[in-house]
Structure 1
Amino acid sequence: MDRILILAQLLLMGFSVLGIAAGAPALMERHLLTLGVAFGGTLAAALVPPRWIIAQARWLYVLGLVALVAVLIVGRGPAGQEEVRRWFQLGAFSLQPSEFMKIALVAYLASFFSRRGTDYPIIGPVVAIGLAAGLIAIEPDLGTALFLLFLAAFILIVIGVPFRRLVAIGLLVTLIVASIHGVFLNRFEYITDRVDAWRVMNLDPTLLERWDPDRAERIRNAIYQPERARLVLRAAGPLGHGPSAELPTNLPERQNDMIFAVVTYASGWIGAGMLLLAYGLVFARGMQIATRSTGALSVMALGLTGYLTGQALMNVAVTMAIVPVTGISMPMVSAGGSGLLAAGLAFGVLHASARRIDLPEVRA
């Protein structure tokens, strides 16, 4: 196991326990079990040769695509939202295919560009990215769909895909995503409400006065969560209030989407800095693994690093109301079985990749 990665991962898991203890102590027993399963996934994935993952990348992607289609047919969503279908209910546990599609898409892109190069008519990646993001968007899970697009763009830019092809990919993927989910998006007002709530909070508070009373009330409801998160962050102070302190206000989704605010309140701004430092370690080590690897292994390490740290950055941005609420979790910290397991698997593949290159102080 890579010492730096395992240190960062254990730090993140520690902050995860702190966040649940402070925000949702009733979930602690279940959360510890889920964390154990996720860490077991790390240990198992670390034993799998990364080249085997690359060799099976197309099948992993196809399996993920089948799961995304199936969840739209037989899946379930939050209570009271019959039209939302995001996960399979397996007894007491649930499985969310979109979380694992992040890893499958990274592996597919790594496999493709290692075989074809970066300056190649790349209709395969266009269709792969567009279909995955489009199917996730109609669940609807627009936040995860957008993150998948950003992750793919990050990979393509860093590996050096020519600008003209980036433009073509962007236009074609946008067309695919829009054609798949455009007709569905109008059925879910809360998505546009979240964007308008962000506009009111950050750009123009007088917008509320221009809308009819019903719409203005919906926007006020959408503002409630990010506004409460900001209040919790401000009240944290430098040293925090400890895991047993009660939050100064009600904060919806405190164990998941808003876990950063809860961790900050418990450990203070200094603790929040340490949490971000842990992700910084993941980014630095992951990029080091990517730069010292070659071919598909390099691209896969790059993509998994972007997944773990980019999603964390987006979660922080949502909590601070820098971007609209997306419902996206913080990898290895937020509660949730599929998200934790997917993050654990991603860490495991990075551990396995580190073992196959010449890095100083890699092995524990």
Structure 2
Amino acid sequence: MDAILMLAQGLLVGFSVLGIVAADPAGIWRHLATLAVALLGTAVLSRVNPEYLVRIARALFVLWLLLLLWVLFEGTGPGSQQEARRWIAIGGLYFQPSEFMKVILVLYLASFFERRGTDYPIIGPVLAIGLAAGMIGAETDLGTAIFLLSLSLFILVIIGVPLRRLLAIGLLVLILTVSVHGIFQHDRFQHLYVRIDAWRVLNQDTLLGRWLRFDPDLLEKLGSKDPDYARLVHDALLQPRRARLIMKAAGPLGHGPGAGLPYQLPQRNNDFIFATITYATGWFGAAMLILAYALVFARGLQIATRSSGAVSVVALGLTGYLTLQALMNIAVTTAVVPVTGISLPMISSGGSGLLAAGIAFGILHAISARVLKPEVAR
């Protein structure tokens, strides 16, 4: 296994444990068990030939499309949000196919461009990206759908797909995504507009000090006359506002994992765990966490450049998955972008997300063992 990737992954696992201890001490044993499964996934995939994964990528992609379709009809949602169907219940376990689609789409695109080249008619990538993003968006998981589109664009640009192909792919993917999204739309997407308006209001300096109470001027600032909608926006403001205040109160060295957060933060162990870790370890600890992801990015790009063909695309795509998703999560926590529901890879709680990240690391380890082994031997 790659020593540098092991170091970076080990740092992320350490921050994950620390974050859960600070956020949800009662859930630490369950989280440790989930991390153990994720690390087992890393160990297993590190022994698999990545070229074999590329060969079976189309079959995996079709299987996962069927699972996403199953979620739309038979899936379940978080808590009371039953309209947000994202999980498949298998016995007492909950499985989220969209998390694994991030890895499988990378494998599929690598397989396609190895067989067809970068200047081939575009129907394959259009169907792959559009159907995957459309079905996930129809689950009301628009954050993951947007991330898949962004990850795909990252891969296509880096591998050198001609501009005319990029424009055609982008246009057709947008049409297909919106079409699939619209088939399943049943007034379930109001929360997306609420989050966007909450982000817009959050970044108005005049409101930053009012997070504890309902703002009577909110209707005017939203340009809305609906008090119920204003109340929804107010509620959506609480979490990102509190995350910002928590990180501001962290100080350079933090308060330790046992200090407890100064404000209630419902998603403190998942989407907003970066704020929890920052409060526990301080701004210095937050910088170390970002550096761990930077290490993954640098080593992943090195592995990709030393590889060739589809395997190089896989290394590039998985590096993008792990680091671009981390960047998006941190941007949400710091209120740079609206809330998306994207977790912090290899850190946030949640079995599917942790296992998918563990698998991505395992494949990177497997590629590294094949392309960097001579370098290690010297």
- 1:211 corresponding residue in structure 2: 224
Q: Which amino acid aligns with 2:84?
A: V
- 1:271 counterpart SS class: helix
Check if 1:15 corresponds to 2:28: no
- 1:245 counterpart SS class: coil
Q: What displacement does 1:85 show?
A: 1.1
Q: 1:227-265, CA deviations, whole angstroms, 9 ceiling, x for partnerless residues?
A: 011011101100000010010100121100001000000
Check if 1:71 corresponds to 2:95: no
Check if 1:224 corresponds to 2:244: no
- 2:140 corresponding residue in structure 1: 140
Check if 1:51 corresponds to 2:65: no
Q: Which amino acid aligns with 1:94?
A: Y
Q: CA RMSD in A?
A: 1.4
Structure 1 residues 361 and 320, CA gap change in structure 2 (3 angstroms):
farther
Q: Which amino acid aligns with 2:189?
A: F
Gaps of 5+ in 2: 208-216
Q: Which amino acid aligns with 2:188?
A: R
Contact persistence 1:3–1:362 (CA under 8 A):
no
Q: Give distance in 1, aligned partners of 2:244 and 2:263.
A: 11
Q: Which amino acid aligns with 1:322?
A: V
Q: Give distance in 2, aligned partners of 1:207 and 1:153.
A: 37
Q: What displacement does 1:166 show?
A: 0.7
Q: What displacement does 1:140 show?
A: 1.2
Q: Which amino acid aligns with 2:315?
A: A
Q: 1:195-234, CA deviations, whole angstroms, 9 ceiling, x for partnerless residues?
A: 1111111258676423222221111111111001101110
- 1:3 corresponding residue in structure 2: 3
Contact persistence 1:355–1:362 (CA under 8 A):
no
Residues 270-279 or 73-82, more deviating: 73-82
- 2:169 corresponding residue in structure 1: 169
Q: Give distance in 1, aligned partners of 2:155 and 2:351.
A: 26
Residues 317-326 or 73-82, more deviating: 73-82
- 2:190 corresponding residue in structure 1: 189
Give the total of aligned pairs: 363
- 2:371 counterpart SS class: coil
Contact persistence 1:200–1:208 (CA under 8 A):
no
- 1:94 counterpart SS class: strand
Q: Which amino acid aligns with 1:50?
A: P
- 2:48 counterpart SS class: coil
Q: Give distance in 1, aligned partners of 2:84 and 2:298.
A: 37
Q: What displacement does 1:188 show?
A: 2.4
Q: 1:100-120, CA deviations, whole angstroms, 9 ceiling, x for partnerless residues?
A: 111110000001111111111
Structure 1 residues 330 and 361, CA gap change in structure 2 (3 angstroms):
farther
TM-score by length of 2: 0.93
Contact persistence 2:300–2:315 (CA under 8 A):
yes
- 1:61 corresponding residue in structure 2: 61
Q: 1:306-325, CA deviations, whole angstroms, 9 ceiling, x for partnerless residues?
A: 00000000000000010000
- 2:210 corresponding residue in structure 1: none
Q: Give distance in 2, aligned partners of 1:119 and 1:9.
A: 36
- 2:125 corresponding residue in structure 1: 125
Check if 1:255 corresponds to 2:269: yes
Structure 1 residues 230 and 297, CA gap change in structure 2 (3 angstroms):
same
- 1:121 counterpart SS class: coil
Contact persistence 1:76–1:89 (CA under 8 A):
yes
TM-score by length of 1: 0.97
Residues 204-213 or 175-184, more deviating: 204-213
- 1:34 corresponding residue in structure 2: 34
Structure 1 residues 185 and 3, CA gap change in structure 2 (3 angstroms):
farther
Q: Give distance in 2, aligned partners of 1:101 and 1:63.
A: 10
Match of 1:356 among 366, 370, 374: 370
- 2:89 counterpart SS class: strand
Q: 1:12-69, CA deviations, whole angstroms, 9 ceiling, x for partnerless residues?
A: 0000000000011111010000000000000000010000000001001111111101
Q: What displacement does 1:361 show?
A: 6.0
Structure 1 residues 147 and 362, CA gap change in structure 2 (3 angstroms):
farther
Check if 1:318 corresponds to 2:318: no
Q: Give distance in 1, aligned partners of 2:340 and 2:141.
A: 8
Contact persistence 2:140–2:188 (CA under 8 A):
no
Contact persistence 1:54–1:107 (CA under 8 A):
yes
Match of 1:340 among 335, 350, 354: 354
Q: Which amino acid aligns with 2:368?
A: A
Q: Which amino acid aligns with 1:245?
A: A
Contact persistence 2:111–2:310 (CA under 8 A):
yes
- 1:300 corresponding residue in structure 2: 314
Q: What displacement does 1:81 show?
A: 2.0
Contact persistence 1:354–1:362 (CA under 8 A):
no
Contact persistence 2:133–2:177 (CA under 8 A):
yes
- 1:356 counterpart SS class: helix
- 1:239 corresponding residue in structure 2: 253
- 2:285 counterpart SS class: helix
- 2:86 counterpart SS class: coil
Gaps of 5+ in 1: none
Match of 1:330 among 341, 344, 360: 344
Q: Which amino acid aligns with 1:196?
A: D
Q: Give distance in 2, aligned partners of 1:362 and 1:36.
A: 28
